[in-house]
Amino acid sequence: MSVLHRRDLPFLLAGAGLFLAAPMARASTDCGGTIFTADEGSASISAVDLASGRISTVAVPITPHNVQAVGDGRRLFAVGTAAGAHGTDHARGSGRLVVLETVPGAAPRVVADIAAGRHPGHVVADAAGGRAFIADSEADALLVVDVAARRVAASVPVGDYPHGLRLSPDGREVWLANVKDGTVSVVDVAGGREVARIQAGPSPVQVGFLPDGSRAYVSLRDANAVAEIDARTRRVLRRIPVGRGPVQVFATPDGKLLYVANEGTRAAPGTTASVIDVAAGAVIATIETGRGAHGVVVYKAESCDCCDAWVGHLRNSGLHVIAHHSDDLPAMRRRAGVPRELESCHTAFVDNYVIEGHVPPASVWRLLGERPAGVLGLAVPGMPVGSPGMETPRGGASQPYTVWLFSIGNPPRPYGTTVEAHPSPPRMWVTLRS
């Protein structure tokens, strides 16, 4: 199962690849643009330096199923069964928690290997990283690990076959999805005991919270739905239909949208991610993930009419747009690597590329077709009159402008200025943030 924690690149939250099940779990930190990958098939964790493309790998003593960035990203927690034991008799106690320190420009370093039950599914950590909470699927328990002491400090009985889990935003509770009995266990962290067991629906797999902690959302794999739960009353408010085999659930930082990865089954893998409007309790968009469609997110100021006009051009080129608003575009651009001299009034992200300003849709399609290596994205700086979304009145003069291609460590270079309609565009989804 893949997990990618990337605070620096918020657009990835909309990219369907973030949620898709795979033999690899991913986490990234803020240490110089490094992505860490845990490969379940080769018992290793690698560090991928985004600037140079260099990959450094370290062997670990487990087949890691889940990896979690801890606190400021200087440490990683990875769980799995002892290397060579995956798929065997987990009653022998082959579960392990591996703690790694991240090293800028190099592979992470294993600093602890802690026995962790029979068959660990997922792990989360408290804010300080002093305790790890692990779902032990075979033991039907939540394991609480004292990381400094390198031991399991407590084992809390929960439902049948816990798998995914999340710590509540206030850090007071751990919610676990119990796959086999259709329930969600709520464990009080301070008291170390299960305080509620909620009947959620068929085969719950993972839990997600709104940022304010008022609602929890549980993916119901066999019901093709997500259960919305009032976190205070523990009552299921509704079940929202989504795609086939939903697994991962993630709320946007403003709490307005929920992204759901529809994994499907091994025989018939899913190809979509559902976008839920939290207030409406309904799917408002579907991102196609398996047939070449691209998840896109755009950030703009709420009052920017020309940004809305640019979105109209995107829609006309074959992109389906969901609009959001952002109160801190400059910080977002800095995190995304947009050069200051190329800044405009809105920022979009398409399949891991940054699109800054009034870039013609034809240039976006060209970028997606060519996929040049090492490129961050495209930009049209400022707000040139005559660019898409900045059309002039009849008879008005247009300004010449250039579409710039920019990358890490290299000066921007021209990518062309010609606006051409994309012939017979395939269906795509765009998420607009502003």
Q: What is the CATH number of the domain that holds 210?
A: 2.130.10.10
Same domain, 346 and 284: no
DSSP state of 66: E
Range of the domain at 393: 296-432
Neighbours of 111 (CB within 10 A): 12
At 340 the pLDDT is 87
Lowest mean pLDDT among 4-18, 106-120, 355-369, 396-410: 4-18
Is residue 1 in some structural domain?
Answer: no
Of residues 209 and 293, more confidence is placed in 209
Last residue of a domain, one of 270, 288, 306: 288
- pTM for this model (two decimals): 0.62
As a whole number, mean pLDDT of residues 42-55 equals 67
Tokens describing residue 363: 């240039």
The residue type of 215 is R
As a whole number, mean pLDDT of residues 155-182 equals 96
As a whole number, mean pLDDT of residues 236-265 equals 88
Same domain, 261 and 304: no
Statement: residue 219 has pLDDT above 90: yes
Statement: residue 75 has pLDDT above 60: yes
Where are any strands of DSSP class E within 89-189? Answer: 95-101, 109-115, 120-125, 131-136, 141-146, 151-157, 162-167, 173-178, 183-188
Interacting residues of 186 by C-beta distance below 8 A, sequence separation 6+: 173, 174, 175, 194, 195, 196, 197, 198, 234
Same domain, 144 and 255: yes
- Tally of domains within the chain: 2
Same domain, 230 and 334: no
Statement: residue 206 has pLDDT above 90: yes
Same domain, 270 and 330: no
Statement: residue 304 has pLDDT above 70: no
Last residue of a domain, one of 288, 306, 329: 288
Give the span between the Cα atoms of 241 and 227, in whole angstroms.
Answer: 9
Lowest mean pLDDT among 152-166, 224-238, 289-303, 356-370: 289-303
Last residue of a domain, one of 253, 288, 323: 288
Interacting residues of 157 by C-beta distance below 8 A, sequence separation 6+: 140, 141, 194
Of residues 301 and 26, more confidence is placed in 301
Helix axes 361-370, 305-316, angle to 10 degrees: 60
Give the span between the Cα atoms of 248 and 204, in whole angstroms.
Answer: 11
Same domain, 264 and 317: no
Same domain, 249 and 305: no
Give the span between the Cα atoms of 347 and 333, in whole angstroms.
Answer: 7
Confidence tier at 92 by pLDDT (50, 70, 90): low
Is residue 184 in some structural domain?
Answer: yes
Mean pLDDT, all residues of the chain: 77
As a whole number, mean pLDDT of residues 196-216 equals 96
Statement: residue 16 has pLDDT above 60: no
Is residue 5 in some structural domain?
Answer: no
CA dihedral 135, 137, 142, 145 (to 10 degrees): -60
Same domain, 51 and 156: yes
